[in-house]
Amino acid sequence: MGLIGCGGGSAPSSAPASAAAPPPPAPASGSQAGSRALAKSSPASTMTLGPAIVVDQFGYLPAHDKIAVVRNPQTGFDAADSFAPGAVYEVVNAVTNVVVFSGTPVAWNGGATDATSGDQAWHVDFSTVTAPGQYFIRDTQRNVTSPAFRIAADVYKPVLRAAVRYFYYQRAGIAKTAALAGAGWADAASHLGPLQDKQARLFSAPGDSSTERDVSGGWYDAGDYNKYTRWHAGYLIDLLHAFADNPGIWGKDYNIPESGNQHPDLLDEIKWGMDWLIKMQEASGAMLSIAGLAHASPPSAATGRTLYGPPNTSATLAAAGAFALGAKVFGARAGLSSYGAGLKARAERAWNWAVANPDVLFKNNDAAYNSVGLGAGQQETDDYGRLGHKLAAAIYLYQLTGKAVYNNFVNAQYLNAHLFVWYNYASPFEGALQQALLHYASLSNATPATASAIRTAFATGMNGTDHWTAMSGKTDPYLAHLQVYTWGSNAIKSQEGAMFAALAHYGLGTRPAAANMNAASHYIHYLHGVNPLGKVYLSNMGTLGAENSVDQFYHTWFAHGSAKWDSVKESTFGPPPGFLVGGPNPSYNWENGCPGLHPGCGTAVPAPPFGQPPQKSYLDFNDSWPLNSWSVTENANGYQSAYIRLLSRFVS
């Protein structure tokens, strides 16, 4: 999946008006902030280190579950806080101050403390409130209120727009104009100087002009500016699925350079990424593995040279899948059929090269490959990873061409997927391969026995301990259970939610689609604030209604100490809206050798994120070496594409 990126607590406010990217239209009922100010009383609480009541700060769909969580910290950095909920909780219309629901909070697990969050918790289920409007929740005895939120059919549409616009800010080699990016994030085109992207050279022959080639365009991969072919192909596949599974929801008003043409803006953004993938393919069909770019803040200030890595099998197989799925999607659209035909030819060339060269490896930034300094994160994979990419490529190529060679490969190899080898192992860590297998099972020309086996294995796996059993039993008081929290846990949350949504999308299992979508929605709610920190894990979302969104995160552009971009509340502009950060990571630590290694270590490892219950292993911070905040707060395109794919399921 490429979850690992390359590379203090906040109460964010909105960026200055001059900095803000053009926002989507406001809801008809008015802004959340304005309505909330009319009705809410000031909270009074013994809680000083975190919120007492957490909700999805954007809101809820009318027909879906709506459960607020009341929390009493027991362990972790906020253990000194305490909160005993009152007996009556009200849902209050934020405009009229009318109480529309009253109920009693229900203790989670008999009052036990949850090990993953360190909290006692209570649930306030107000799912019966379905009328569109703006609301907040009030503890009448304790005089404590939640953030405001909306209930509406379109509640996530502006959030999705901001999440997709993320990729515009990540574009390399194009000017970000004030009209499109917002004045605060306008920047000249990056990496187009001498010996940069248009004149990139092979990393092992930087003095050889004969190796020069154009690798311009594409997206910065994460908080670093490098471009990794294998991972990049995966982002395209995620976005292509998001588009193809719900094509009617994507507008032409995302305020990117292509807005207003004949195609939805998401498809235009995908094409921007696909155009870069095309540049990385050699005539043989092989895919160059990586382009390593120079770094500076802002991106246009980077003057160092660009170097690229040689072809490898894993990147070529991943690209074959992206080209094939892209050919299917683009080829079906008026004005893009010839583009789709070109992608089809590229997909088959990539497949054929990978079949002839099954074990060509290249590790960037690795002494054994003499590639130290080329890129940051390691994009090479293992034998199983290459098998997964080959299975996915065969599936998308079979859908595209109907050729038996691809179907035969799927039939011969699908049982080697962990879904089968490990006895119905449905896992959010294998989201890309499971997505491809389920897609195969949905094809009208799929081999019936293979399709049936895939559907049965996945549905059976989803009934297991870490999926429906955990959801039904409310294993996690925040209702978004993960078996383990790792680097990139927010992406894993998105993948887990997508697995529940897949049950509904493909009509699998014995539960109704509505139940599966309700389960999936809790992972959205977690990312939108139903977590122990009450944190919306997207950056700078105050203008879209978030009371506590990410204030700062690891990114070369929005660098630590930058007067313009470091922090929403401390800098002139802060980072732009809509960047999903990696999230809680209990394995976080400062650099080996600290504190004596460097004065930047400080005197103690930052806690949080260090030494906390897993769900509290997070802090808004933006420090590079030796504090290495990237393992907690760095963004990554894979996090973003997984979140977009899940969120799009809830937009109509």
Q: What is the pLDDT of residues 256-290, one digit of tens each?
A: 999 999 999 999 999 999 999 999 999 999 999 99
- For residue 300, how far is the Cα from the chain centroid? 25
* Closest listed residue to residue 56, CA positions, set 127, 105, 120: 127
Residue type, 565: W
Mean pLDDT of all residues in the chain? 94
Residue 42: which pLDDT band, with cuts at 50, 70 and 90?
Answer: very low
Q: What is the pLDDT of residues 415-470, one digit of tens each?
A: 999 999 999 999 999 999 999 999 999 999 999 999 999 999 999 999 999 999 99
Residue 1 has a pLDDT of 36
Q: 209 and 201 in contact (C-beta within 8 Å)?
A: yes
Residue 511: which pLDDT band, with cuts at 50, 70 and 90?
Answer: very high
Q: What's the whole-model pTM score?
A: 0.94
How far apart (Å, rounded) are the C-alpha atoms in residues 283 and 260? 34
E-assigned strand segments in 177-294: 201-202, 227-228, 290-292
Residue 486 sits at the vertex; the CA angle it makes with 632 and 166, to the nearest 5 degrees, is: 50
User: From residue 409, how far is each of 412, 435, 446 by CA, in Å?
Assistant: 5, 17, 12
Q: What is the pLDDT of residues 553-592, one digit of tens each?
A: 999 999 999 999 999 999 999 999 999 999 999 999 999 9
Percentage of the chain beyond pLDDT 70 is: 93
Q: What is the SS3 string spanning 239-250? A: HHHHHHHCHHHC
Q: 409 and 394 in contact (C-beta within 8 Å)?
A: yes
Residue 164 sits at the vertex; the CA angle it makes with 161 and 166, to the nearest 5 degrees, is: 115
How far apart (Å, rounded) are the C-alpha atoms in residues 152 and 545? 13
Q: What is the pLDDT of residues 153-205, one digit of tens each?
A: 999 999 999 999 999 999 999 999 999 999 999 999 999 999 999 999 999 99
Weakest-pLDDT range from 13-22, 345-354, 548-557: 13-22
Name the token pair of 258.
């292509």
Residue 45 has a pLDDT of 66
Q: What is the pLDDT of residues 95-145, one digit of tens each?
A: 999 999 999 999 999 999 999 999 999 999 999 999 999 999 999 999 999
* Closest listed residue to residue 234, CA positions, set 325, 337, 116: 325
Residue 5, pLDDT above cutoff 80: no
Q: 312 and 380 in contact (C-beta within 8 Å)?
A: yes
Q: What is the SS3 string spanning 558-587? A: CCCCCCCCCCCCCCCCCCCCCCEECCCCCC
Q: 616 and 478 in contact (C-beta within 8 Å)?
A: no
Average pLDDT over every residue of 335-362: 98
Residue 10, pLDDT above cutoff 60: no
Q: Helix 337-356 vs helix 313-331: angle between axes, to the nearest 10 degrees?
A: 160
Residue 4 has a pLDDT of 40
Residue 40 has a pLDDT of 53
Share of the chain residues as helix, strand and coil, in percent rounded to the nearest 5: 40, 10, 50
Residue 46 has a pLDDT of 75
Average pLDDT over every residue of 68-93: 97
Residue 357 has a pLDDT of 98
| Rama region for 219: left / alpha / beta (φ>0; ψ in -120 to 50; rest) | beta
Residue 232, pLDDT above cutoff 60: yes
Residue 33 has a pLDDT of 31
